[in-house]
Amino acid sequence: MARRRGGPAAAAATTVASLAVVATLAVMALVYYATLFVFLDHWLGLGTPAGAAHAAAVSLAVAASFFAFVCAAAADPGSVPASFAPDAEAAQGQQELKSRYCDKCCMFKPPRSHHCKVCKRCVLKMDHHCVWINNCVGYANYKAFIICVLNATIGSLYSFVIFLCDLLLKEHDFDILYVKIVYVLAAEIKSCIIDGNVPILRKNLLDLGWCIAVLLKLDNSSFNQYREAVRAKWLAKKSGQKYRHRFDLGMRKNIQMILGPNILCWLCPTATGHLKDGTEFQITNN
């Protein structure tokens, strides 16, 4: 029988209390405020038709990011059903059965599930534990997480373009406060991330890089499986073979497994009707 440590209410309370989550929301609010009320207002003016149109588009991107963020942070990423038992016939020997048993939860794990040391439980199709949402990214919230990162990336790039337009197309008094603030923030970010003063920030930038990589390569592998696959690819290349991840079903099916079969619902983080119980996954025949 599985041991569960804390229910959804406890998980939600932990999420709210997380400093990283508060910091993420604060950055989101700061970027929104600066983009609209500092850069855009100075560049076009919020009262002009062009300024209002840009303001509406930025607001939409930020609102969509925030909604997906809440969905990813508050959702249960995927609990292993208490009734789950591995198919002993399908398992290739005792060794595989043994590797599917979690000593900490005292239960068997379905394929692609992993034990999260932070959440202290096994998570279905666990990708990684994300400190920014203070939650695991797993089977049930993977879509919301991907949409959140996608919307945040689009919103950030849009914001950066508005900042550049204001900086390059308008006359500036370089003694003004916001230019000074931008320089100070840029120096701090460089110190934290590039100089490596805050390793956790650097590590979690990998989250962003990984999500973009997932969207680009779309081979249906998780972050954990990607690390395992690196060695398998190297071995296959060495023996003159082509490596293909066993859960890679081809681009179209991989996208549908994450975002759903209906293209109109791809950007809706709550449209997860295509998800099943997360204990079985189709594998490639190759």
- Using CB under 5 A, which of 119, 131, 149, 259 touches Zn ion? 119
- Using CB under 5 A, which of 102, 167, 213, 255 touches Zn ion? 102
Stretch that binds Zn ion, among 118-126, 195-203, 216-224, 247-255 (CB under 5 A): 118-126
Q: Given 122, 130, 148, 268, which residue is catalytic?
A: 130
Q: Does 2 bind Zn ion (CB under 5 A)?
A: no
Burial class (CB in 10 A: 0-12, 13-18, 19+), 193: middle
Specify whether the backbone of 218 is left (phi greater than 0), alpha (psi in -120 to 50) or beta.
left
Q: Is the torsion defined by CA of 121, 127, 129, 133 positive or negative?
A: negative
Residue whose CB is less far from Zn ion, 98 or 242: 98
Shortest approach of Zn ion to residue 80 CB, angstroms? 8
Stretch that binds Zn ion, among 10-18, 32-40, 134-142, 221-229 (CB under 5 A): 134-142
CA dist., res. 201 & res. 174, Å (int): 30
CA dist., res. 114 & res. 19, Å (int): 25
Inter-CA distances, 266 with 112, 156, 215, Å: 23, 21, 13
Shortest approach of Zn ion to residue 249 CB, angstroms? 26
Task: Note whether 243 and 236 are within 8 A (CB).
Answer: yes
Stretch that binds Zn ion, among 84-92, 130-138, 190-198, 230-238 (CB under 5 A): 130-138
Q: Is the torsion defined by CA of 221, 227, 228, 231 positive or negative?
A: positive
Q: Identify residue 174 by its one-letter amino acid code.
A: F
- Using CB under 5 A, which of 3, 4, 5, 104 touches Zn ion? 104
Strand ranges in 42-147 using DSSP code E only, listed in sequence order: 101-102, 107-108, 114-116, 121-123, 128-130, 135-137
Residues that contact Zn ion, how many (by CB under 5 A): 10
Residue whose CB is less far from Zn ion, 115 or 274: 115
Q: Does 58 bind Zn ion (CB under 5 A)?
A: no
Residue whose CB is less far from Zn ion, 102 or 255: 102
Task: Note whether 79 and 141 are within 8 A (CB).
Answer: no
Q: Does 162 bind Zn ion (CB under 5 A)?
A: no
DSSP designation for 82: T
Q: Does 105 bind Zn ion (CB under 5 A)?
A: yes
- Using CB under 5 A, which of 64, 122, 140, 258 touches Zn ion? 122
Shortest approach of Zn ion to residue 207 CB, angstroms? 13
Report the candidate in 220, 23, 20, 254 with the shortest Cα–Cα distance to residue 127. Answer: 220
Stretch that binds Zn ion, among 33-41, 92-100, 133-141, 184-192 (CB under 5 A): 133-141
Residue whose CB is less far from Zn ion, 82 or 169: 82
Q: Is 130 a catalytic residue?
A: yes
Instruction: Residue 153: count other Cβ atoms within 10 Å of its Cβ.
Output: 16
Residues assigned a catalytic role: 130
Note the residues at the interface with Zn ion (CB under 5 A). Answer: 102, 104-105, 115-116, 118-119, 122, 129, 136
